Amino acid sequence: MTGLPKRPNSRPARIGVLGGGQLGRMLGLAGIPLGFQFLFLDPSADACAGATGELLQAGFDDSEAARELAERVDVATFDFENVSRQTASALTEKCALYPAPNALGAGQDRAEEKALLNSLGINVAPYHLVSGRTDLLEGLEKLGYPAVLKTRRLGYDGKGQVVLRDQEDLERAWQKLGDFELVLEAFVPFEAECSLVAVRGLGGETRTWPLTRNVHSNGILMLSRPGGFDDALQSEAEQKMQALLEHLDYRGVLTIEFFVSRGQLLANEFAPRVHNSGHWTIDGAACSQFENHVRAITGLPLGETGMTSHSLMFNWIGELPDRDRALEIPGLHWHDYGKSPRPGRKIGHATLTADSAEQLELSARRLAELAGGEFPELSAKLFD
Ligand code: AMP
């Protein structure tokens, strides 16, 4: 493992990013003050990361464009994990890619991902592979109702998955998903969902942020609140994370999402990138996941990951609440991704920071009322 190679001229080091969404944009916002420039590859001419660097407009399966990106940057990374192996390997002919393609591949297929996690002692819910209707019936026999049927590839934010509670659900789900390679999972009756975000840098130095409690609605993350889990669960999560980081010889930020069920951690999935549940780190931690990812892939020393205040993140899906009124709330940090609103689309977030849990709750109540919808009910779950 190495840091950035010496450049022949005096231009600032440039980071290439496959994907130009909000994660790329926040990597840009974190990396620019460190002196880096950014070049994003994205099919969309108005990809929102373009505000923080140059945009190369091309498809993610365009190996030529990936080579061009690689020629113009010193190191590359990605802001979403469904980059094809061909694109990743075209890119690595010309420059270093962190996390490396092995990490990218490991999480793209839910079946391979679960087998890998289990093999490392990171338990997942019981599951059954489904390539045809007979497999599905066999799986249901084994796992029982309720169960969750998911596509093996390309599912995210609750897309490509259906909860099966009875025979009727089964028929509907089969019509929708029957053409795909699938995995059937036991439904986990969880007390909470949480995630661990970690960073591993040059030479294997590793840091983790505190476990973060996540609240979803229809498979989409709505709220994240760090802290609040006991030390035993934190260290269990860290051990599991360490096993995965070492197995992948990983460099950059990695996230594991867990269910907490009967006090035990069961992994749901991992993401080889910065993660929505780590957005609070921009305002609530000594060093954010974005800055530490940039530091890790460029070989810089890692920053501290401790919480600097109580904090809570609200995700804005489909529409933004009234910004000007929101800014009246103490400790509110506004993040507009500059994306056009569309139902179901993540277009921004806000983080609340506070000196005490009581103050955080007061601000969270105000913001939840302002945002409306499900927020009052969902955020109350975080202050039980
Ligand atoms: P995923 O796309 O796998 O991250 O799933 C999105 C969300 O759906 C999770 O965060 C959970 O809220 C819910 N979910 C997914 N799989 C299960 C499961 N096996 N049991 C219970 N809830 C699940």
pLDDT tens digit sequence for 327-356: 999 999 999 999 999 999 999 999 999 999
Pocket of ligand 1 contains residue 219 by CB under 6 Å: yes
Return the pLDDT at 5: 65
Return the pLDDT at 220: 93
CA of 32 to the centre of ligand 1 (A): 35
Return the pLDDT at 320: 97
Q: What is the mean pLDDT of residues 111-133?
A: 96
Pocket of ligand 1 contains residue 217 by CB under 6 Å: no
Pocket of ligand 1 contains residue 27 by CB under 6 Å: no
What atom of ligand 1 comes closest to residue 186's alpha carbon? 19
Q: Tell me what the pLDDT averaged over the chain comes to.
A: 94
Q: Where in the chain is the domain with CATH 3.30.1490.20?
A: 126-186
- Domain covering 126-186: architecture: 2-Layer Sandwich (3.30)
What atom of ligand 1 comes closest to residue 188's alpha carbon? 20
Q: Best of 114, 150, 161, 221 to mutate for ligand 1, by most ligand atoms within 8 A of CB?
A: 161
Q: Which is it for strands 252-261 and 264-271: parallel, antiparallel or unpaired?
A: antiparallel
Return the pLDDT at 11: 62
Q: What is the mean pLDDT of residues 289-294?
A: 98
Return the pLDDT at 9: 57
Q: Which two tokens stand for residue 275?
A: 């993660």
For the cut 70, the answer to whether the pLDDT of residue 238 exceeds it is yes
Instruction: Provide the 10 A C-beta neighbour count for residue 230.
Output: 10
Q: What is the Cα–Cα distance from 120 to 247, expressed in whole angstroms?
A: 8
Return the pLDDT at 1: 44
Q: What is the mean pLDDT of residues 225-241?
A: 97
Return the pLDDT at 76: 97
Q: What is the Cα–Cα distance from 282 to 293, expressed in whole angstroms?
A: 12
Pocket of ligand 1 contains residue 155 by CB under 6 Å: yes
Q: What is the Cα–Cα distance from 360 to 346, expressed in whole angstroms?
A: 23
- Confidence band (pLDDT; 50, 70, 90) for 68? very high
CA of 108 to the centre of ligand 1 (A): 16
Pocket of ligand 1 contains residue 125 by CB under 6 Å: yes
For the cut 70, the answer to whether the pLDDT of residue 370 exceeds it is yes
Return the pLDDT at 73: 97
**Residue with CA closest to ligand 1 atom 18:** 187
What is the residue type of 95? Answer: C
For the cut 90, the answer to whether the pLDDT of residue 178 exceeds it is no
Q: Where in the chain is the domain with CATH 3.40.50.20?
A: 14-97
Q: What is the mean pLDDT of residues 45-57?
A: 98
What is the residue type of 346? Answer: K
Q: What is the mean pLDDT of residues 33-48?
A: 97
Q: Based on the number of CB atoms within 10 Å of its own CB, is 189 exposed (0-12), middle (13-18) or buried (19 or more)?
A: exposed
CA of 246 to the centre of ligand 1 (A): 26
Fold designation for 14-97: Rossmann fold (3.40.50)
Beta strand segments in the chain, E: 14-18, 37-42, 54-57, 75-78, 96-97, 127-130, 147-151, 161-164, 182-186, 192-200, 206-208, 212-217, 220-226, 252-261, 264-271, 310-317, 332-336, 346-354
Q: Which two tokens stand for residue 248?
A: 């992948």
CA of 264 to the centre of ligand 1 (A): 16
Q: What is the Cα–Cα distance from 30 to 59, expressed in whole angstroms?
A: 25
Percentage above 90 pLDDT, the chain: 85
Q: What is the Cα–Cα distance from 154 to 130, expressed in whole angstroms?
A: 16
CATH 3.40.47.10 is held by the domain 192-383: no
Pocket of ligand 1 contains residue 158 by CB under 6 Å: yes
Read off φ and ψ for residue 317, nearest 5 degrees: -110, 120
Is residue 192 within 8 A of residue 228, CB to CB? The reply is no
Pocket of ligand 1 contains residue 193 by CB under 6 Å: yes
Q: Where in the chain is the domain with CATH 3.30.470.20?
A: 192-383
**Residue with CA closest to ligand 1 atom 19:** 187
Lowest mean pLDDT among 9-13, 42-46, 243-247, 248-252: 9-13
